[in-house]
A and B are shown apart, each in its own frame.
Chain A
Amino acid sequence: MSECIVITSGKGGVGKTTTTANLGVALAQQGRSVVVVDADIGLRNLDVILGLENRIVYDLVHVIEGTCRLKQALIRDKRLENLSLLPAAQTRDKNAVTPDQMRELIAQIKGVADYVLVDCPAGIEQGFKNAVAGADRAIIVTTPEVSAIRDADRIIGMVEAAELPEPQLIINRFRAKMVERGDMMNKDDILEILAIPLIGVVPDHEDIIVSANRGMPVAFDDNSIVGEAYRRIGRRLAGEPDVPMLDLSTPDDLWTTVKRWMGMAPAREVAR
């Protein structure tokens, strides 16, 4: 049975597109057929993150308006046979499609894929309503910051109002060092506030920028810790909820070790 999952956040720039691309790769690596849909009409980006921007002929609006068939618009990723992208229109705006049209489109895509991942635009307006229209469930992406968490809370309410089941949370751009010195909220702080189940924590890491430069999602990189974080989330998503969380804690440096030994370093915040 196929499933549509929308990746959303409320606040912009917290990592929805990066997450969608990497979870798409992670699920496809597990042998599932995956279509990632860029619902950010007018500001398309998912194509660039996936390195598929040069192959776009048709887009989501063309399919909805009947200019082409779904098959013609899907771009198959040559690195992973069972991963495809449905790009957003770049020269149209969010009002070019309606929630009903999206619902119909997603139903059609579900007919050809095990997983449909929808990259939601920022905000709570029409773009959000379109992106959640065909979804069976939602993943909320947040960073450990006051403004992002506030917006995530708002979006959780809107996901519930859209009658989707309780969403799951990804905490992105987690910085273990800052958490350990008490300058960033940890996993439990955030969960206490948002009160939804956690599906994964992704470290803040320069590998993300390098992979964006190359158009090669970090989940392809077997040696990257961020890649590993996404691969594990992919497994949890696909029915292995007990895959252990990555240990993101940093090793003590020499001074901290000495101070801890002398009883002078503060108790350590758990950064897992």
Chain B
Amino acid sequence: MMDLFNRFFGNRGGGARSKDEAKQRLKFLLIHDQVDLTPAQLETMKNEILAVIGKYVEIDADSTEFKLERDDHCIALVSSVPVRRVVERPASAPMPAAEAEAAPAV
């Protein structure tokens, strides 16, 4: 009923405001103008970071989140990586540094 009323009087509900789309698109654009990485490169970066973290702690890979955010003119990589527990390794074993070097550079 309200819907019909609104349509009749040329009023689109709050969800359809084109300025919200404009703002969302702009935020995305400005981050990517500045960072200049392709989605594929971002994905690779994320996987490499996760691989490094995974050497020290066991993580919940499915619920990790990586986002580029912009505040004033600074871009930050904001990530949330849920940790299950510390990876078990013998107390005397060195940190697995050699593996880190083997990872391809971005």
Q: Which residues of A contact B (CB under 8 A)?
A: 145-146, 149-150, 153-154, 156-157, 160, 179, 181-186, 189, 192-193, 195, 255, 259, 264-266
Top 10 closest pairs, chain A to chain B, by CB: A182-B17, A195-B72, A185-B19, A183-B18, A146-B22, A146-B26, A189-B23, A153-B30, A182-B19, A150-B29
Interface residues of B in 1-35 (CB under 8 A from A): 2, 5-6, 9, 11-14, 16-20, 22-23, 25-27, 29-30, 33
Whether A195 and B73, one on each chain, are in contact in the complex, defined by CB atoms closer than 8 angstroms, is yes
Interface residues of B in 52-106 (CB under 8 A from A): 72-73
Whether A193 and B33, one on each chain, are in contact in the complex, defined by CB atoms closer than 8 angstroms, is no
Report, as a range, how many residues of chain B touch the other chain: 20 to 34
Q: Is the interface of A mostly helix, strand, loop or mixed?
A: helix
Whether A193 and B27, one on each chain, are in contact in the complex, defined by CB atoms closer than 8 angstroms, is yes
Whose C-beta in chain B lies nearest to the C-beta of A149? B26
A181, B25: Cα distance in complex, Å? 19
Whether B19 and A189, one on each chain, are in contact in the complex, defined by CB atoms closer than 8 angstroms, is yes
- CB of B16 to closest CB in A, whole Å: 8
Whether A193 and B19, one on each chain, are in contact in the complex, defined by CB atoms closer than 8 angstroms, is no
Chain B residues with Cβ below 8 Å from A264 are: 2, 5-6
- CB of B17 to closest CB in A, whole Å: 3
13 cross-chain CB contacts under 8 A: A145-B22, A146-B25, A146-B29, A150-B26, A153-B30, A154-B33, A182-B17, A183-B19, A184-B19, A195-B72, A264-B5, A264-B6, A266-B14
